[in-house]
């Protein structure tokens, strides 16, 4: 199998330690923690009241005011991080290379804040009050979509949904064993189902014999 080398030319970070790669790296070197009290909603009824929130993030650095509410936080962060990475790399996607430039951005769940907000609107005010930007502001692939639009990348565009960092090598290494495990699990499930059907068929005549007035 041919090995392909990948060169990382730019890094962009928007984290609980700061907005920007340099700010985040500085926080790491200083040993700072990004974890603190949750500030975005009332935590009085929850046993856990801390989280690693992104702090002091100003979306107006990247978006017009009218566009900010059309996108969830995760899209803001994705565009900002991509902007930092592009500037650090010095890369400009020219028209002649646009179809060879792709965007791959993973997310654990997408725009959960918007989903929760619009669900509340639905329950309190009905479907006619739901924002027309509900879907494009919340679905996972719009992070990669907005980045590709902004930088002119017209190649492959993908948005893996995963709670953990997506590592292709790890995925490839485990794919064979996962398929084997899946086949074994399916085989056991079918065997159990067959035993249940046999047991039910043996019990059915007796039950029919006692049925009736």
Instruction: Dump pLDDT digits (tens) for 187-199.
Output: 665 666 566 555 5
| Cα 43 to Cα 84: distance, rounded to the nearest angstrom | 33
101 and 152 assigned to the same domain: yes
pLDDT for residue 21: 92
Evaluate whether residue 131 is within a structural domain: yes
For the cut 70, the answer to whether the pLDDT of residue 155 exceeds it is yes
pLDDT tens profile 91-113: 999 999 999 999 999 888 888 89
Evaluate whether residue 114 is within a structural domain: yes
- Give yes or no for a contact between 40 and 117, defined as CB atoms under 8 angstroms apart: no
187 and 87 assigned to the same domain: no
User: CATH no. for residue 155?
Assistant: 3.40.47.10
47 and 149 assigned to the same domain: yes
Evaluate whether residue 1 is within a structural domain: no
Q: Which helix (H) or strand (E) is 85 found in, with range?
A: helix 73-89
Q: Which residue has the higher pLDDT, 194 or 207?
A: 194
For the cut 60, the answer to whether the pLDDT of residue 204 exceeds it is no
pLDDT for residue 191: 66
Tokens of 112: 């959960």
148 and 65 assigned to the same domain: yes
Instruction: Give bridge partners of residue 51 from the DSSP assignment.
Output: 36
pLDDT tens profile 28-85: 999 999 999 999 889 999 999 999 999 989 999 999 998 998 999 999 999 999 999 9
52 and 103 assigned to the same domain: yes
- The residue range of the domain holding 22 is 14-166
Evaluate whether residue 70 is within a structural domain: yes
195 and 104 assigned to the same domain: no
130 and 77 assigned to the same domain: yes
Tokens of 70: 């059309």
Instruction: Report the number of distinct structural domains present in the chain.
Output: 2
Evaluate whether residue 5 is within a structural domain: no
145 and 211 assigned to the same domain: no
Tokens of 56: 């002091």
Query: Is-above-0.85 flag for pTM?
Result: no
| Cα 169 to Cα 6: distance, rounded to the nearest angstrom | 13
Read out DSSP for 61-77? GTS-HHHHTTS-HHHHH
């Amino acid at each position: 199998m041919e090995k392909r080398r990948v060169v990382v030319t730019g890094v962009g970070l928007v984290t609980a330690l700061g907005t920007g790669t340099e700010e985040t790296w500085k926080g790491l070197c200083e040993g700072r923690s990004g974890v603190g009290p949750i500030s975005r909603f009332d935590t009085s009824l929850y046993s856990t009241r801390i989280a690693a929130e992104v702090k002091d993030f100003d979306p107006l650095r990247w978006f017009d005011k009218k566009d900010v509410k059309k996108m969830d936080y995760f899209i803001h962060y994705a565009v900002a991080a991509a902007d930092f990475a592009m500037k650090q790399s010095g890369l400009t996607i020219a028209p002649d290379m646009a179809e060879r430039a792709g965007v791959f951005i993973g997310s654990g769940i997408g725009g959960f804040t918007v989903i929760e907000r619009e669900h509340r609107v639905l329950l309190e005010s009905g479907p006619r009050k739901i924002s027309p930007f509900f879907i494009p502001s919340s679905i996972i692939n719009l992070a990669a979509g907005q980045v590709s639009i902004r930088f002119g990348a017209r190649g492959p565009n993908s948005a893996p949904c995963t709670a953990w960092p997506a590592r292709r090598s790890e995925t490839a290494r485990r794919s064979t064993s996962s398929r084997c495990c899946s086949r074994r699990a399916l085989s056991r499930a079918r065997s159990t189902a067959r035993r249940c059907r046999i047991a039910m068929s043996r019990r059915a005549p007796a039950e029919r014999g006692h049925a009736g007035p």
